[in-house]
Structure 1
Amino acid sequence: MRSSALLAVVVFGAAVAVSATSHKSCPLDGLEIEGLPSSIPPSQLPLSFVSAAIGTQNYTCSPSNNYTLVGAVAELYDISCLGKSTLFTSVQDWLFGMWVDAPADLTSQALVSSYTLTRGSAVLGDHYFVPNPSGKPGNSPKWDFTSTGAFKGNKDAFVTVEKFAGSAAPTGPEDIDWVATNGIDGSLSAQVYRTDTREGQPPSSCQHGSSPDIQVKYGSKYWFYGSKLQH
């Protein structure tokens, strides 16, 4: 199957799974992270959005001959309306299964940059990395809702963050860490938590100077707390 056709199948299926109902009509009362490791304190802020995501964790080979994270790219789907259904606990697995089955030439950038089927009401926004807004070395995670859904065109509908807590995934070493972050720029959210991760870990070693940069597919849930946006 051609990449473009597979992309359509993945995104259409995701839109059906997460619901055609708008986020605004689906209350988040009672939704909370299950199995949160003790090293990550639960947020004390109101839950604003909850999403399932698929994308890639991006790595480069360091002089120490191991892979170092340099960024990520992902598409986020609104799962607010699944909060009271049995699908809520497994929707990230369903999405990730389709993402794993996609052909190798379908990149995460192609997934995120598609403006045909992916820009429906089920899409909350995009995730990628940007230079640290505080001026510190390195890049920072950013979630961007400025071009999708209810917040399309709202220049403040983003958040850039820094990590304040984390833990190895309780599901096993093949899955990337669960993390909690504080917002440092933007009005989208005061805190973002990544949970229910699926894969995303790089190989254990590489050869500096000869091993290419790699993208490793992953899935997760992202929880957004304390938004300043009206929705």
Structure 2
Amino acid sequence: MHFSVVSSLLLSTILSSVHVIAAPAQQEKRDAWNKALGWPEPEYNYYKAVGDTVEKAARANQLVNQPACNMQLAQMPQAPTPLPPPSAGLVLSHIAVGRGTQNYTCPKDADASVAPTAVGAVASLFNVSCIAGNYPQLLSLLPSVAVRYPVPTANSQLAPANVMLSGHHYFQDATTPFFNMITSDSNYGMVAAAKLNATNAPDAAKDVTWLKLNAKAGNWSFVEVYRVNTSGGQPPKTCEGQPENIEVQYAAEYWLWAPPK
């Protein structure tokens, strides 16, 4: 079974954040559980090494008693021209790294005067809520790492990243991004949204815009969704020489805000 580096990175960091400083007995239990999944030795050794590095960083920063999923410490990234803040009264409910494609179309045999048209996106969403407060610097690196590696296929259920799968992102129509945060292992909710604000990414030529989305009418789990820290996703400048359907690899952080429970 083949696992991408980003899969190993996601799982190892999250496992490490569950027990910031693992006692020897906890470490042995965690290693036994990991090996019981049957992951190949090279991949196991890789994510274990990353996890050990995170734990050493935790020691250096005196985070011994920090809760595993303390999202109260999480700080949403800001673009050079910031997006409006979350609406008053909302609380941070979930944070995910999305990995997929931004999708575009071009007319057949178009020339350089025609630009690709955006037709939505498709992405798998991976739960990084526990990392956001405890290891913000690590979280900030994940999209740029994730975009360089393929997402595990659906039949790789034991792939490390799939263990942390929290949902999927796609478009219901040309203007309705949808977040289905329900899987066989978890239920974070759903939301159909619409673009409210947009701002350029720091590297606007390569990375798609940062967005603030607002929930459409309905009884949804989330009220506002931010797409930030994007990596990749920008289309070719023109349709000249391009196929009719274009998929551009991207990754991003998604911050989902909801009313307090």
- DSSP-derived class of the 1:5 partner: coil
Matching residue's letter, 1:130: Q
Q: Which runs of 5+ in 2 are unaligned?
A: 20-66
Q: Structure 1 residue 92: deviation in Å?
A: 1.8
> Which of 34, 55, 61 is equivalent to 2:100?
55
Q: Structure 1 residue 227: deviation in Å?
A: 5.4
Aligned to 2:158: 117
- Cα deviation, 1:25-55, whole Å, max 9, x if unaligned, reads 5121031213244452010321111111211
Q: Identity rate of aligned residues, in percent?
A: 27
Kindly indicate whether the alpha-carbon contact (under 8 Å) linking 2:207 and 2:232 is maintained by their aligned counterparts in 1.
yes
Kindly indicate whether the alpha-carbon contact (under 8 Å) linking 1:75 and 1:112 is maintained by their aligned counterparts in 2.
no
- DSSP-derived class of the 2:75 partner: coil
Matching residue's letter, 2:220: S
Aligned to 1:5: 2
Q: Structure 1 residue 90: deviation in Å?
A: 1.3
Kindly indicate whether the alpha-carbon contact (under 8 Å) linking 2:73 and 2:134 is maintained by their aligned counterparts in 1.
no
TM-aligned CA distance change 1:121 to 1:6, over 3 Å: closer
C-alpha RMSD over aligned residues = 2.9
Kindly indicate whether the alpha-carbon contact (under 8 Å) linking 2:81 and 2:200 is maintained by their aligned counterparts in 1.
no
Q: Which runs of 5+ in 1 are unaligned?
A: 103-107, 132-137
Q: TM-score under structure 1 normalisation?
A: 0.75
How does 1:75-224 map onto structure 2 within 5 Å?
75-82=124-131, 83-85=133-135, 86-97=137-148, 99=149, 102=150, 111=152, 113-114=154-155, 116-117=157-158, 120-131=162-173, 138-151=174-187, 157-184=189-216, 185=218, 187-207=220-240, 211-224=243-256
After TM superposition, what 4+ stretches of structure 1 lie above 4 angstroms from structure 2? 118-121
- DSSP-derived class of the 2:73 partner: coil
- DSSP-derived class of the 2:134 partner: coil
CA distance in 2, matches of 1:47, 1:193: 11
Aligned to 2:257: 225
Q: TM-score under structure 2 normalisation?
A: 0.67
Matched, 1:70 2:103: no
Q: Structure 1 residue 5: deviation in Å?
A: 2.5
Q: How many residues are matched? A: 203
Q: Structure 1 residue 18: deviation in Å?
A: 3.4
